[in-house]
């Protein structure tokens, strides 16, 4: 089984920039040492596929370096050709993970989770919404009927919520900090807002009622945004989960998918720890839990027929 990585595509950032570019390489290196997963570079997504979810002019302006300065400021990165390559690979990794999930029950990307990007603009370190692109691709090319998004990044998946608002074939769930970015929230199908300082037990209790809704919706694929910025000590998180709490969270999500026969694509998501080593370890733990559940089984047990 393969995890797709993008850390070979680095892009220039000004000194002191808050985006933790090095964590992506560190996560892969930790998992390589485990000797379990296979790895492959994420293939770049085609612009035509990205345009299934995004405004064509916006896509072309970004790819060609013609976005207005204010639009790039909202995204939070300086434009460069290297950023374009990395962005296309990030979306491509999620597409590849979705293909693997639909074929064998599980797929994973060591990037992605750019959930603040809307139809015609980016924001918050997010250029294109990789999950939205993958859902539109799966509807078009894989003929799926329903998709679910379980977004456990500490920041609301506002772009995803907005893109799929009112779409009965996509279930959007976001569990996030009430007082955190974005400060103007969108409306997901299910929003669970948590107070500052929320710890392991309170967090896990908040997740428990969600799985009945996921099972009742019976998605053909579920995208798990597995951000670890709810971890205590995260610079932008404001919650207080431990490494063990995050692992329990991951196991809850992935066991639910496995037992229900729901193909799952896992996306890296956010993590900005004051000690970036802790963030990398938490991300790696997500895929360690996934290996325990899926790594030795070529296909989800009890996979429902389609």
- The catalytic position among 116, 136, 176, 283 is 116
CATH 3.10.20.740 fits 2-12+19-295, yes or no: no
- 17 carries an active-site annotation: no
Copy the structure tokens of residue 94: 């999620």
Residue 40: phi and psi, rounded to 5, are -145, 145
**pLDDT at residue 300, rounded to an integer:** 46
pLDDT score recorded for residue 252: 97
Nearest-angstrom CA–CA distance, 94 and 109: 6
pLDDT at 299: 52
User: Going residue by residue through the chain (306 aa), what tens digit of pLDDT does each one get?
Assistant: 899 999 999 999 999 999 999 999 999 999 999 999 999 999 999 999 999 999 999 999 999 999 999 999 999 999 999 999 999 999 999 999 999 999 999 999 999 999 999 999 999 999 999 999 999 999 999 889 999 999 999 999 999 999 999 999 999 999 999 999 998 999 999 999 999 999 999 999 999 999 999 999 999 999 999 999 999 999 999 999 999 999 999 999 999 999 999 999 999 999 999 999 999 999 999 999 999 999 876 554 344 433
CB under 8 A, 24+ apart: contacts of 25-33 = 26/276, 26/277, 26/280, 27/110, 27/268, 27/280, 27/283, 27/284, 28/3, 28/110, 30/280, 30/281, 30/284, 31/3, 31/110, 31/284, 31/287, 31/288
Domain residue ranges in the chain: 2-12+19-295
Residue 297 has a pLDDT of 64
8 Å CB contact between 131 and 94:
yes
Q: List Cβ neighbours of 59 (8 Å cut-off, separation of 6 or more).
A: 47, 50, 51, 128
């Amino acid at each position: 089984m393969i995890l797709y990585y993008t850390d070979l595509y680095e892009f220039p950032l000004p000194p002191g920039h808050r985006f933790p570019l090095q964590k992506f390489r560190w996560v892969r290196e930790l998992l390589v040492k485990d000797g379990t997963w296979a790895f492959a570079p994420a293939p770049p997504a085609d612009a035509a596929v990205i345009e299934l979810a995004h405004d064509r002019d916006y896509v072309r302006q970004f790819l060609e370096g013609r976005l207005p300065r204010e639009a790039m400021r909202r995204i939070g990165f300086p434009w460069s050709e290297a950023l374009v390559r990395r962005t296309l690979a990030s979306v491509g990794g999620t597409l590849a993970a979705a293909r693997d999930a639909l074929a064998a029950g599980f797929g994973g990307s060591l990037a992605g989770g750019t959930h603040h990007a809307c139809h015609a603009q980016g924001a918050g370190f997010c250029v294109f919404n990789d999950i939205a692109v993958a859902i539109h691709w799966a509807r078009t090319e894989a003929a799926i009927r329903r998709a679910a998004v379980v977004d456990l990044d500490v920041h609301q998946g506002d772009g995803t919520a907005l893109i799929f608002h009112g779409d009965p074939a996509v279930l959007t769930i976001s569990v996030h900090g009430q007082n955190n970015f974005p400060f103007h929230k969108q409306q997901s199908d299910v929003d669970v807002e948590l107070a500052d300082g929320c710890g392991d037990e309170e967090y896990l209790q908040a997740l428990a009622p969600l799985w009945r809704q996921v099972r009742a919706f019976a998605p053909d694929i579920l995208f798990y945004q597995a951000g670890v910025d709810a971890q205590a000590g995260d610079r932008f998180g404001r919650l207080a989960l431990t490494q063990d709490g995050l692992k329990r969270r991951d196991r809850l999500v992935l066991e639910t998918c496995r037992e229900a026969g729901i193909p799952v694509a896992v996306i890296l998501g956010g993590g900005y720890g004051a000690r970036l080593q802790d963030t990398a370890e938490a991300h790696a733990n997500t895929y360690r839990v996934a290996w325990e559940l899926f790594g030795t089984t070529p296909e989800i047990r009890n996979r429902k027929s389609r």
